[in-house]
Structure 1
């Protein structure tokens, strides 16, 4: 497939993927939307887009430590002074 043809299919691919997510009752994140826009604009390859999505899914914000220095050691109880 030529680069010009691939570039024209990118918006359709993103639209289709976004609609598929919505049909499952989900929404895309702002980060995903920015990455999708960068992909449509040719700033990311499909491989880079997928890698970023996988990285977000393997370490979502709610599982990321807010402050690693204040987390208790595993198995310990946090006490208040």
Structure 2
């Protein structure tokens, strides 16, 4: 699987894509907005990321795989980093 964060009119959505299909994981579980959210769920469930995705694809609507690449943004938004010295 390849993972994308895709810009939409409503904000961003997390998309998983295999060779032929693209799945809207945010529509399957609203709390998933980026790859970091998916990684946290996998850690809590003590499984791998693809294992979580396989569970979600049954409930995820299909998207046009070609348009996913065109609307892709950064896969995760870097957090703010503070340093003091």
What TM-score comes out, normalization by structure 1 length? 0.29
Between Structure 1 and Structure 2, the one with more helix by share is: 1
Structure label with greater radius of gyration? 1
